[in-house]
Structures are given as structure tokens and as C-alpha cells.
A and B are shown apart, each in its own frame.
Chain A
Amino acid sequence: MISMDDSRPIFMQIAERIEDDIIETRLPEESQVPSTNQFATFYQINPATAAKGVNLLVDQGILYKKRGIGMFVATGARAQLVEKRKDQFYEQYVVAMMQEAEKLGITSEQLAEMIRTGRKGS
């Protein structure tokens, strides 16, 4: 079983996994997305929860519904998601990194150097 993080709403985690699949082009634009029941069975989650995750992306225009056929990835979805993730990147990774660096007494210059070399700075 693929475990979900039980401390966050699962519908958000489902939406994030679909987003990842779109960003990494495992789900190309205009391709069909698995059905709510397929998500539910695969991740062993309640179908209502899976539907909520999918609908979150429909509301944002990332997915759209073709009546009687299913759910598809919208054209332009990938670019839209990449923009959104770039905003989150600063909040999630850069701010956290700078806080930890400060705690350890790593200067901004040392931090920049670490990023440039991709190795531990001296």
C-alpha cells in the first residue's frame, strides 16, 4: 500500500501527486487522468477523498471534464503548475534553508558557495 501522510488532508496529497505527474510529464497535456475510483483503489483511499483531490485541480483549471469520457489534463496546465511551484519553492525550501543556516552560523556567502559548488563549504 502506498501510504499517505496522515497528518495532512489526503485530498491535497492526491492533488499534489497529480501535479507532480503533470510537471514531470508522466501525464502529458490533453492526456486522460485515471478515474476517481482508480485513484481510490490504487492509493487505497476513500473515493470521496480522491474525488475531492481531482476536483481541486478542476477548479484551478488544471484538469477538465469531458462529459461521459473522463478527466483530462488542460493545455497550459504544466506551465501554470511550474509557476505556482516556483512561488512555493522559496517559501518551502529557501526560507527553511536560511533558518537552519542561521542556527548553525553559516554565513550567506558560505551558503551561496555551497550552492555553487554543490558540495559542503569549508
Chain B
Amino acid sequence: MSRIVEVKGLTKVYGNFEAVKDVTFTIEANKIYGLLGRNGAGKTTIMHMITAQQFKTSGELKVFGEEPYENNRVLSQICFIKESQKYPDNYRVIDVLEVAAMFFPNWDQAFAHELIEEFRLPLKRRVKKLSRGMLSAVGIIVGLASRAPLTIFDEPYLGLDAVARELFYKRLIEDYAEHPRTVVLSTHLIDEVSQLLEHVMVIDQGKLILNEDTEVLRGRAISVGGTTSQVEEFIKGRNVIHREPFGGLLTATVMGVGSTDEKRRAESLGLTIAPVSLQQLIVHLTGGSVRKAGEA
């Protein structure tokens, strides 16, 4: 099966607040997806519906080809690591691993113990006595060692320092290369994860505003700077996603100026051209200043 998740017109309403609005996408097998967006954009709600922890209001939702609700065939293939995973009060780290070993059919206990050492977790300590970062590390270890066909990490790094995050990325990409599976990473640390992602979905105010292969997005936007009148002239009719005026100068971020000819034309007009990183691109797209050229 190549389609792991199929979502069509998915909507979630709380009272009169639409948290997820008519979202349509598919998640294909054995790719790493980034589910990106600002806090409160609706990412977690979408993941909760995929993993059957919340009901949808309307729309279609299929996971491994079936409805996920109370469906063990589907749920046994999913590992969902939440931002603040709760464990029973008396559990020690080693108990979490043992339960996970029973729950996940592809669980690799040796790998889990390797990771425990690398993240320097005390096996016998009670989970509730762990620091915030250590608790996040427990989730990451369960997520990696589960080798679940669909593994979802929802902001898994609260309290994790840069060294531990780096270790997570490294082990994730290594293990994924050896054991391909479908991974969804939800995060706002776009700069850190972007090179791990094959595909990017950006959620903004409940809507899916970008759904594209990561490599296609890189280099698709450029920023053009110069005097306001020169820049306005060049960006006329183009898809402008951001404007930054500065005195009599203007810097505009424009989508779709790909060709060398166009860049040369801008340079010949005396404009300064600079590349735009994926993070900047997404920040501009979700920053609320999306305007077409010509609109004031």
C-alpha cells in the first residue's frame, strides 16, 4: 500500500471555532513529512484525528485504508509521540520500554537500550521524577525503537537541549535509511529539521496552505531589494509574500522567480537579489502579510 493516510475535506469544529478547515492531503509510504505551522494552527488537532484520539466533525479520513476509530488493525501500526506524554505514576523508564515492547510489533529492544545510553537516561528512575528534557527523550526513544509503519512526533523536544536534538535527528535519519517507514514530524523548529524532510505541509489558521516536496520549495522564493520604485516595478504582477520597507528602500520576497534570466534582469535594474531559506519562506507565508502585488 502506498497511501498511508488519506484525508479529504477534513474539518474539526469546537463550538463555533473551526480548528481545522476543509483539509485535503495524502501521506505516502516511507517518506518523512514535516507538518509545520505556528502554535495553534491546527497541527495537533489533525494528528489527533489521524490517530483516533479525537473525532472529526466532517470529511473523509482513512489510515492504512481504513477508518482509524477503535480499529486495532490501524492503531497497532501507529506510534504517536505527543508533546507531553503522560505515563502511570509508578512507572520507571524500564517499565515504559517493556510496555512499549509488548505494544509495538516491530519494537527493537537492543536499539532502545542503545538510545537510553546515548541520551543518558537512568533506567530505574521513575518517569515522574525525570526532568522535562529527559521525559522528552523517553518519548523520542519509544518513537524511534517502535519502528512503527507510521510514526508521528508532535513537538517531541520540550526541554531537550541542542545536543540531544541533534542526536535525535542523527539517529532518526540513520534508522530510517535502514528501516524505511512513514514519519511525520510536527515542529516549529523548521531550520533544524528541514533537511530531513522529503515533503512539507504547512498549516495556517486551520487551513493547509502549502503541500509540496521540500526540494521544490528550496530556491523558489527570492528577496529583491532596492529603491521602492525600482522594486515595485520589478514585482508588478508577481506573487509577493512579504514586503519590508526601510526609508525609501523596499525589500520584497517573491515566489517563483526561478530563472537566471529573470534574476539577471533584476540585477541589471540595480536590484539586490538574495536567496530565501525554507524557514524564512514559511515564516512569511504564515506571518499574516500575504498579499498579491498591487494590493496596498
Q: List chain B residues, Cβ under 8 A from A7.
A: 218-219, 275-278
Among candidates A41, A44, A47, A49, residue contacting B215 with C-beta atoms closer than 8 Å: A49
Q: How many residues of A contact B (CB 8 A)?
A: 21
Q: Known contacts A37-B177, A46-B173; can you find 16 more A-B pairs with CB under 8 A?
A: A1-B166, A6-B194, A6-B218, A6-B277, A7-B218, A8-B218, A8-B275, A9-B215, A10-B215, A11-B215, A41-B173, A45-B196, A46-B32, A46-B198, A49-B198, A49-B215
**Cβ of A58 < 8 Å from any Cβ of B?**
no
**Cβ of A48 < 8 Å from any Cβ of B?**
yes
Q: List chain A residues, Cβ under 8 A from B177.
A: 37, 40-41, 47
Q: List chain A residues, Cβ under 8 A from B176.
A: 47
| Most chain A CB within a 10 A radius of its CB, from B31, B174, B176, B177 | B177
Question: Which residues of A56-112 have CB atoms within 8 Å of chain B's CB atoms?
Answer: 99
Task: Pick 20 A–B contacts, CB within 8 A, sort by A.
Answer: A1-B169, A4-B195, A5-B275, A6-B191, A6-B278, A7-B218, A7-B276, A8-B218, A37-B177, A41-B174, A44-B195, A45-B173, A45-B195, A46-B32, A46-B196, A46-B197, A47-B177, A48-B31, A49-B214, A49-B215
Bound complex: CA of A75 vs CA of B267, how far in Å? 39
Bound complex: CA of A1 vs CA of B176, how far in Å? 17
Interface string of B175-209 (1 = CB under 8 A from A): 01110100000000001001111100000000000
Bound complex: CA of A81 vs CA of B232, how far in Å? 40
Q: How many residues of B contact A (CB 8 A)?
A: 27
Interface string of B265-282 (1 = CB under 8 A from A): 001000000011111000
Question: Which residues of B243-278 have CB atoms within 8 Å of chain A's CB atoms?
Answer: 267, 275-278
Q: Is the CB of A37 within 8 A of B178?
A: yes
Interface string of B156-173 (1 = CB under 8 A from A): 000000000010011001
Q: Which residue of chain A lies nearest to B178 when distances are taken between CB atoms in the complex? A: A37
Bound complex: CA of A60 vs CA of B180, how far in Å? 28
Q: Which 8 A-B pairs have the closest CB atoms?
A: A7-B275, A37-B177, A6-B277, A7-B277, A9-B215, A45-B195, A46-B198, A9-B218
Q: Is the CB of A48 within 8 A of B218?
A: no
Q: Is the CB of B173 within 8 A of A40?
A: yes
Chain A min CB distance to B278 (Å):
5
Q: Is the CB of B219 within 8 A of A8?
A: yes
Bound complex: CA of A97 vs CA of B5, how far in Å? 51
Chain A residues at the B interface, C-beta cutoff of 8 Å: 1, 4-11, 37, 40-41, 43-49, 52, 99
Bound complex: CA of A41 vs CA of B276, how far in Å? 25
Q: Which residue of chain B lies nearest to A35 when distances are taken between CB atoms in the complex? A: B177
Q: Is the CB of A44 within 8 A of B279?
A: no
Chain A min CB distance to B1 (Å):
19
Chain B min CB distance to A24 (Å):
24
| Most chain A CB within a 10 A radius of its CB, from B177, B195, B267 | B195
Q: List chain A residues, Cβ under 8 A from B166.
A: 1
Q: Is the CB of A52 within 8 A of B278?
A: no
Q: List chain B residues, Cβ under 8 A from A48.
A: 31, 198
Chain A min CB distance to B218 (Å):
5
Q: List chain A residues, Cβ under 8 A from B194.
A: 6
Q: List chain A residues, Cβ under 8 A from B275.
A: 5, 7-8
Chain B min CB distance to A5 (Å):
8
Bound complex: CA of A45 vs CA of B278, how far in Å? 15
Q: List chain B residues, Cβ under 8 A from A49.
A: 195, 198, 214-215
Q: List chain A residues, Cβ under 8 A from B276.
A: 7
Bound complex: CA of A43 vs CA of B195, how far in Å? 9
Bound complex: CA of A49 vs CA of B31, how far in Å? 11
Q: List chain B residues, Cβ under 8 A from A41.
A: 170, 173-174, 177
| Most chain B CB within a 10 A radius of its CB, from A1, A43, A99 | A1
Q: Which residue of chain A lies nearest to B169 when distances are taken between CB atoms in the complex? A: A44
